[in-house]
């Protein structure tokens, strides 16, 4: 077996999601704040949030190579504290983050065949890891809702590490903590810049999936780079999200 470890992106790779972080989303989150005596309009809440984020990111990202990821719920907790609500501010921030996410989500679902594919890949002998640019405040719960939380050997969410793909610190956290050999790891993701370029810089083999959630400016999959066991290369490309086909092909590598 050429690879021992498969590292997955989440949204756009395993999970199909559509969110609209619009004016109504901020208004609903502001309503939650008002339950605890903090009176915001949606636009004022958004403005204060963006101000705190900009301040934190300017401190976190001192180098051009760094991609800071600030925990959303921590910022919302800070906004409660700034308005004098200090008791249980952390819990309120977490709940507010989840209100925001639920209000913004139109749908959340697995791509067809994902559960069976992960089971097949594990039975084949692969170790499975999740490396996602995501906020623990809601992604951990979405994994539970989708019955994915027990499918991986370990889950890595960027907000826990305060940096996100393609930041090498995030990739190295997984590789070092789990003592993985990059030469035996295959990163699977739907974004050429964050998933693929970042993984290649870390020495990983890569599988680019061009899906409905791939950034629109990124090219479709190159059919000459399809998954083939005889191909002597470290990069593959796949069009779409047919996980039954993908799992079969991965088991032949």
**What is the band of 124 on the pLDDT scale with cuts at 50, 70, 90?**
very high
Confidence at residue 51, expressed as pLDDT on a 0 to 100 scale: 95
Half-sphere exposure of 233 (CA within 13 A, CB side): 11
Read off the tokens for 221.
């999959």
Confidence at residue 229, expressed as pLDDT on a 0 to 100 scale: 84
Candidates 194, 201, 182, 76; CA nearest to 138 is 76
Which residues have CB under 8 Å from 100's CB, separation 6+?
21, 25, 26, 28, 29, 72, 76
Give me the chain's average pLDDT, please. Answer: 95
Pick 5-17+109-250's CATH classification: 3.20.20.80, 3.40.50.1000, 3.30.1490.20, 3.40.605.10: 3.40.50.1000
Radius of gyration for the alpha carbons in the chain, expressed in angstroms and rounded: 20
pLDDT tens digits, 35-44: 999 999 999 9
pLDDT tens digits, 13-33: 999 999 999 999 999 999 999
Residue 211 · residue 243 · CB < 8 Å: no
Q: Is residue 56 pLDDT above 90, yes or no? A: no
Q: Is residue 64 pLDDT above 80, yes or no? A: no
- Cα separation, 78 vs 228, in Å, equals 50
Candidates 197, 138, 190; CA nearest to 10 is 190
């Amino acid at each position: 077996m050429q690879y021992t470890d498969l590292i997955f992106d989440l949204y756009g790779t395993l999970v199909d999601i559509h969110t609209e972080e619009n004016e109504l989303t901020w208004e609903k989150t502001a309503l939650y704040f008002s339950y605890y005596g903090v009176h915001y309009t949606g636009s004022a809440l958004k403005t204060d949030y963006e101000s705190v984020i900009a301040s934190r990111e300017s401190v976190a990202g001192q180098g051009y190579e760094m991609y800071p990821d600030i925990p959303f719920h921590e910022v919302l907790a800070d906004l409660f504290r700034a308005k004098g609500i200090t008791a249980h501010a952390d819990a309120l921030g977490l709940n507010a983050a989840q209100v925001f996410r639920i209000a913004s989500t139109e749908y959340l679902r697995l791509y067809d065949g994902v559960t069976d594919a992960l089971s097949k890949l594990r039975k084949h002998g692969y170790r499975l890891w999740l490396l996602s640019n995501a906020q623990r405040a809601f992604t951990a719960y979405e994994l539970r809702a989708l019955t994915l939380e027990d499918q991986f050997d370990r889950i890595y969410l960027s907000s826990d590490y305060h940096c996100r793909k393609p930041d090498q610190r995030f990739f190295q956290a997984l590789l070092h903590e789990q003592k993985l050999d990059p030469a035996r790891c295959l990163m699977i993701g739907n974004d050429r810049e964050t998933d693929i370029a970042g993984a290649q810089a870390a020495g990983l083999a890569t599988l680019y999936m061009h899906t409905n959630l791939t950034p629109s400016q990124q090219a479709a999959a190159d059919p000459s780079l399809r998954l083939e066991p005889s191909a002597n290369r470290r990069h593959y490309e796949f069009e779409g999200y047919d996980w039954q086909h993908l799992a079969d092909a991965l088991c032949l590598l």
